[in-house]
A and B are shown apart, each in its own frame.
Chain A
Amino acid sequence: MSTAEIGSPWLEIRDLRVRYDAADGPVHAVVGVDLTVARGEVLGVVGESGCGKSSLARAVVGLLPGNAAVTGGRVRVGAHDLSAASPARWRELRRTELAYMPQHSAAALDPLRRVGRQFADVLRAANGRVSADEVHRVSSELLEAAGLRDVPRVLRAYPHELSGGMAQRIALCVALARRPSVLVADEPTSGLDLTVLRKVMEMLRQRCRSEGMAVVMVTHNIGAVAQYCNRVAVMYGGAVVESGPVSSVLGDPRHPYTRALLGALPRRGEPLALLPGVARVSRDGAPGCPFRHRCPVGAADPGLGEGCANEPTTLRMVADDHAVAGLCAHGDALEREAS
């Protein structure tokens, strides 16, 4: 693929929909998501368990489980529309352009192959013949950048000889080795100690910039997003309820759910925001703000209710590149509540 300029939109997701056929009926896990990630940019996708963020990640790399399917929308990488890609085309793209790092990726390493061989495998799958020296050079450089000590020993090791945190970092390095243009990482930092997490994120951000990679990072760690992502998308009930630059969204959250999520971060001496009810999944994929059943703004102003139930999940711009779903884009209800 041609190297587009840093900052130009590279990964484009338009009105993406994913449906699961669960034992007790269909579940609409993703209900019309629009997102764009530029080269050299890290997009953080946050939200709680079951909000659809992992399904979104898997749909982008064409790796949904067997009982799930993309039921609408488009995914583009550069000039390539992936919506109509055949399974063979998907595989080819995943060998070269698209890298995916699943949750608990330490377990994704092949237990029977030494770490060095796993680097060789992905490099050769992507580029054909690659010399052993080249494999060694690329892998050593990545592992050192990820803060792993005694790299020659690590390269000779089998995955079971490594700690979980080490294996997780290695999995990320393996994903980066073939220099993909898009990296989709699902919880790449969960379970890592803070000092290690910082190293990993610094490496990821640095690679992202130097390679012009578009990175989608699914996480529940708001702190990691605040410190290391350029942009953030907040998901609830399969929809993006708010997205934009990290400073704008986290600094000036507009959607009631984003506010509730940030209000649940413990700050000593301040009461925590407690949400009534429980998150629920969409059974019918119908429009309407997915958060309306628990929304404190809606509860305070019943007049909003009908509008929230009919509002499509499309985003509206409230500030430069800062978009909010539905009625809640009009901050007046929120302002009223605040005053």
Chain B
Amino acid sequence: MSAPTLDPPVAPPPAAARNRLRWFAENPLVTVCTAVVLLVLVGSFALPLPYDPEGVDATAVLQPPSATHLMGTDQNGSDVFSRVVAAGRTDLTLAIVATLVATTAGVVAGLLASKRNRVAGAVMNVLDLVQSFPLLLFSVILVSLAGNNLGAVVAAIVVIGFPSITRLVRSEALVVRELRYVEVAESIGVSSARTTFRHVLPNVAGVITAQFGIMLGRSLMIIATLAFIGVGVTAPTPSWGAMVRAGANVIGNGVWWVAVFPGLAVVLVMFCVNLAADGVQRSLGRQR
């Protein structure tokens, strides 16, 4: 019963994997930056530690970089290279875990808040309440009250980070929910939950990816800031922020290596994370 077809022959669909590869090829900045961040992450776990990062050696205090101590030693005689690498483990793991939790919370809350019901109103009220607090100050107090445990750091980052992700996901989801294919789904009788997962979520995924990157940068910054002012990850556990703080005390005496190497690590990772997130956002903008 089929009428003669008017359609040209159909080429096979491009493989999804190749599509993704092409996206990376078209966005070299994102690719390079993501690679650098991954390299730092893998490196901090895979690189051998020449010395115990928490080890104290009174005979080798504040030695400049040399063949035995690549990045020199600090006031306790600890090897700065070992400490920078070990700090990467703590800081990056903390940041990734916190970002995952914050993003997940933000996405769930944002999707809930994009509906037109009472739950959505409640979510927005909670959000307004949370954001009316001076969050960074609060987190400092909370983390120090909690005895500087790492779980508290994660909690602090989540509380600081998830409201903005929620708002962004909500505003994007509101746009998608107005689109015709969502109305079509409603006309078919697709359930609200299925509509959210099949139609809304995939179409805000790009924004979520970009937000994940931005949030990762913010998390690293918060961790470093907290450590710098002496809460969160505290000595003897190495962290980049605390190391910069320790180095800052002696930098006036010409002892630059204690502060500069962990500082460079923070700057490199932050820079790459932010550039990659920017690149993802710009690529999304081009697609529109």
Contacts and interface: CB of A to CB of B under 8 A. Distances in A.
| Whether chain A touches chain B in the assembled complex (some CB pair under 8 Å) | yes
Interface of A: 23, 274-278
B8 interface: yes
Contacts of A275: 6
A275 B7 CA distance: 9
Interface of B: 6-8, 26, 286
7 tightest CB-CB pairs across the interface, nearest first?
A: A277-B8, A276-B6, A274-B6, A278-B8, A275-B6, A277-B6, A278-B7
A277 B7 CA distance: 5
Tell me if B's interface is mostly helix, strand, loop or mixed. loop
Chain A CB within 10 Å, residue with most, of B6, B7, B26: B6
Nearest to A275: B6
A277 B286 CA distance: 29
Nearest to A293: B8
A276 B8 CA distance: 8
A290 to B, nearest CB: 16
A276 B6 CA distance: 5
Contacts of A23: 26, 286
Given A276-B6, A278-B8, 8 more contacts: A23-B26, A23-B286, A274-B6, A275-B6, A277-B6, A277-B7, A277-B8, A278-B7
Contacts of B286: 23
A175 to B, nearest CB: 28
B157 to A, nearest CB: 37
B279 to A, nearest CB: 16
Nearest to A278: B8
A20 to B, nearest CB: 15
Contacts of B7: 277-278
Nearest to A277: B8
A301 to B, nearest CB: 20
A275 B4 CA distance: 11
B284 to A, nearest CB: 14
Contacts of A278: 7-8
A200 B54 CA distance: 82
Nearest to A276: B6
A23 B8 CA distance: 23
A291 to B, nearest CB: 15
B95 to A, nearest CB: 34
Contacts of B26: 23
A281 to B, nearest CB: 14
Chain A CB within 10 Å, residue with most, of B7, B8, B26, B286: B8
A278 B286 CA distance: 26
Nearest to B9: A277
A274 B8 CA distance: 13
A274 B5 CA distance: 10
A74 to B, nearest CB: 33
A278 B8 CA distance: 7
A277 B10 CA distance: 11
A339 B256 CA distance: 94
A274 B7 CA distance: 11
B4 to A, nearest CB: 9
A279 to B, nearest CB: 11
B182 to A, nearest CB: 22
A275 B8 CA distance: 11
